[in-house]
Amino acid sequence: MSDEVVETNESSAVADEGVVKDERSDAERERDEFRDTLQRLQADFENYRKRVARFSEEAATRGASDLVTRLLPVLDAFDLAVSHFATTNSDEVAALIQTRGLLLDTLTREGLERIDEARVEFDPQVHDAVAHVEGEGEGTQLVDDVLRAGYRWRGTVLRPAMVRVKG
């Protein structure tokens, strides 16, 4: 009888060891699943955070671009006033020129770029040709005169320059 008890205890210990191993492997598998789920959740959250930051930045850029676009007629009015009073020398004209300069400098620091160069090659991406004069047959078209300045905001053309083309 003592031999039977020993065998039963040994088989019981082996069976208990198998159950413990099964429970341990189940716990490890469950732990690994939780870890994988957590890693995916962290990656999803990081992607969400980046996407929200990018959308927020794009919205701010669009808002600034819209504001600058609405300010372009103000810059045009300043340009016309300065050209109208070019020969007048008074404190009011000096104040007008200074105010225009301050506005333009502020917008330039934020990313506004003025397109108003003459004697450059015509580029339909940044120039709007409204007049044409004959050239010397050079084959290339050059901007002869800028009739209204164009503007670029952080690399994107807001309004092409209205130009007369020669060539």
pLDDT of residue 3: 53
pLDDT of residue 138: 65
Q: How far apart are CA 50 and CA 70, in angstroms?
A: 30
146, 165: one domain: yes
Contacts of 136 (CB under 8 A, 6+ apart): 167
Helix (H, G, I), strand (E, B) or coil at 86: coil
Which pLDDT band, with edges at 50, 70 and 90, does 1 fall under?
low
80, 157: one domain: no
97, 117: one domain: no
Which pLDDT band, with edges at 50, 70 and 90, does 8 fall under?
low
**pLDDT at position 14 over 60:** no
134, 159: one domain: yes
95, 125: one domain: no
59, 131: one domain: no
Range of the domain at 135: 112-167
Mean pLDDT of 140-165: 94
Token pair in block for residue 77: 């009015």
Contacts of 135 (CB under 8 A, 6+ apart): 141, 142, 166, 167
Number of helices (H), then strands (E), in the chain: 2, 6
Model pLDDT for residues 101-113, shown as the tens digit of each residue: 999 999 999 999 9
141, 65: one domain: no
Token pair in block for residue 30: 């469950």
Burial (CB < 10 A; 0-12, 13-18, 19+), residue 142, is middle
